[in-house]
Structure 1
Amino acid sequence: MSAETQFSISQLRELEAESIHIIREVVAQLEKPALMFSGGKDSLVMLHLAMKAFAPARLPFPVVHVDTGHNFDEIIAFRDQFVEKHGLRLIVGSVQEAIDRGLVKEEPNGSRNRIQTPVLLETVEQNGFNAMLGGARRDEERARAKERVFSFRDDFGQWDPKNQRPEIWNLYNGRVHPGESIRVFPISNWTELDIWQYIKEDGVEIPRIYFAEERETFVRDGMVFEANRFAQPKEGEDVVTRRVRYRTVGDATLTAAVESDADTLEKIIEEVAATRITERGATRGDDRVSDSAMEDRKKQGYF
């Protein structure tokens, strides 16, 4: 072979290799990991990477979904089909069940995003998980940009942004004492555009809710919401048929759609490449409460 021969890999394959390395480090260092899985695009890419990391063996940890009871019907159906198809072990923490027994109290605005945290912490404790893999990316929101790949949580599940472990030369410290845990973010360095390009290039399965189609919608606070069983128009909010798609999926009471004609992966990639506002900033009402809304929730134990 010529000395001048050079080898290179694409940016996506470099990101993939980094993420797979991180996932394998979690399994190597920590006794009882699990992967947070909502059926959304980021968690699907995460799960795809995890299955690649250990193929042809089965996934060596369960997937966990904190179900608010306000999820889009399409997402829950897709989640269940995906889990059955790939023979995954799914653990569900139910916010509705937690409300029924008094662990959490539903908020006046009807959103359940903020009361997910106690349910997540209880699910982690009951199953003895000491590492939770999540699909957060640093480009989504300023609080997530502060966080390390291996994010230490104390025995109350809380995050201290001023007390984070150094990560030098991609060396990750997974040491924890009993009761403590690590949140791990293997796709921290990916962008929304990277996610969509990877979905297209690697054939990652995703639900149809991400593609543009005609939906009955109304506008509230400058955002477009689908009129469904979780989000109903108020007086003066007219229902209009619009062609929309979702950039992110969460609590259906506060997650908005965007007007779009992107009904193929190629069109979504073009659309995302041209946008200048993150998907959370454009469509997540729960992050508009204050400038520090996400950081405050993360300090309490949220992902």
Structure 2
Amino acid sequence: MTSLETEFDTLAALDTEFDTLAALESESIHIFREVAGEFERPVILFSGGKDSTVLLHLAIKAFWPAPLPFALLHVDTGHNLPEVLEFRDKVVEKYGLRLHVASVEDYLADGRLQERPDGIRNPLQTVPLLDAINENRFDAVFGGGRRDEERSRAKERIFSLRDAFGRWDPKRQRPELWNLYNGRHAPGEHVRVFPISNWTELDIWRYIARENVELASIYYAHERPVYQRDGMWMTPGTWGGPSDNEELLIKSVRYRTVGDGSTTGAILSEAADNEAILAEVAASRLTERGATRGDDRVSEAAMEDRKREGYF
């Protein structure tokens, strides 16, 4: 192969990547604008994780230079990593956004919820989430779910109808042909909207690199105390720490996903920049949820069961 042919192949690969990201970005922006024109009180679920950060970046881009017409909603378990909460507040202040926080801690304190025996709080987010949606009369709720993450998310449409109790019924999924989205819903119902549903984890990281999107520091390799449990590297916090037979070690790790600190693991990694992470993600054969989320390992249908109850 000549040097000219090699250069042509490299340029063709770059053009393909750019075209893919441009098409995905265009689709997502179209979805945001459709919702703005069709619904009265949309809100963006924002956890400070990479997917919700890209989601917010796309939303801001969709309406720039006008201010973002949506508020943010975070369901705080009380077991979030401190770096994530700091990043969330930094983003809110930077863009002058409105943030609603639904606190699991408040529900535990007044008895509306009870702590689970395993200490995991991710499943406890459902009730505060649905209450926040009902109290604020949100009729469209943007989420950062992607189809490549998990089986039940692969079955969900971009516009996902939820009934008056926030429940998801796969049988009520609507066809979405030619980018036509049906947001019709009865009083009390709402629609979950997933603008990055067709993105992959690799697409997300390519877009982060291309757009220079700032993320919480935990997504990049750093040293922290961790211990191994169920094949995952966990970090101690307010949710507890290692048991007597679990050794606390200092390791270079990073997080692929953000969740409840008691059930979300880190991966051993030296990837400290976007280029290194792209190479790492491209070589991975496990989704980020499958590799580092203990709450999804309860059963093969764990996520689908929670979605039927009103979860994200």
TM-score (norm 2): 0.93
1:72 aligns with 2:95: no
The 5 A counterparts of 1:138-287 are 138-287=147-296
Letter in 1 for 2:146: R
1:61 corresponds, among 60, 70, 80, to: 70
Separation (CA, whole Å) in 2 of partners of 1:106 and 1:194: 37
2:276, 2:238 → 1: CA distance? 29
* Cα pair 1:133 1:185 within 8 Å, conserved: yes
Q: Shift of residue 98 of structure 1? A: 1.2
Higher mean C-alpha deviation, range 180-189 or range 103-112: 103-112
Query: Aligned to 1:63, what secondary structure does the other structure show?
Result: strand
Q: CA deviation at 1:102?
A: 1.9
Q: 1:49 aligns with which of 35, 43, 58?
A: 58
Q: Is the Cα–Cα contact under 8 Å of residues 79 and 238 in structure 2 kept in the other structure? A: no
Report the structure, 1 or 2, having the larger helix content: 2
- Report how far residue 163 of structure 1 moved: 1.8
- 1:77 is displaced (CA, Å) by 0.6
Superposition TM-score, scaled by structure 1 size: 0.96
- For residue 228 of structure 1, report the CA deviation from its aligned partner: 2.9
Question: Residue deviations 1:201-232, cap 9 Å, x none?
Answer: 00111011001111111101111112333240
The answer to whether 1:290 aligns with 2:288 is no
Alpha carbon RMSD of aligned pairs, Å? 1.1
Farther off after superposition, 161-170 or 178-187: 161-170
Separation in 1 of the partners of 2:75 and 2:176? Answer: 29
Give, in whole Å, the separation in 1 of the partners of 2:85 and 2:231: 27
8 Å contact 1:23–1:53 — kept in the other structure?
yes
1:3 alignment partner in structure 2: none
Choose the corresponding residue for 1:37, options 46, 52, 59.
Answer: 46
Report the 3-state secondary structure (helix = DSSP H, G, I; strand = E; otherwise coil) of the residue aligned with 1:268.
helix
Do the aligned residues in 2 keep the contact of 1:231 with 1:252 (CA within 8 Å)? Answer: no
Hey, what does 1:119 align to over in structure 2?
128
Q: How many residues align?
A: 297
Q: Which whole-Å CA distance do the structure 1 matches of 2:171 and 2:244 have between them?
A: 45
Q: Which runs of 5+ in 1 are unaligned?
A: 1-6
Tell me whether 185-194 or 219-228 shows the greater mean CA deviation.
219-228
The amino acid of 2:201's aligned partner reads E
d(CA) in 1 for partners of 2:148, 2:240: 28
- Could you say what secondary structure the match of 1:128 adopts? coil
Percent sequence identity over aligned pairs: 59
SS of the equivalent of 2:233 reads strand
Secondary structure (helix, strand or coil) at the match of 1:219 reads strand
Retained in 2: the 8 A contact 1:19–1:49? yes
How far does the alpha carbon of each residue in 1:40-87 deviate from its partner, in whole angstroms, 9 at most, with x for none? 000000000000000000010100000111100000011001100110
Separation of aligned partners in 1, 2:136 and 2:238: 32
Following TM superposition, the consecutive aligned residue runs of length 4 or more in structure 1 with deviations greater than 4 angstroms are: none
Q: Is the 8 A contact 2:227 2:248 kept in 1?
A: yes
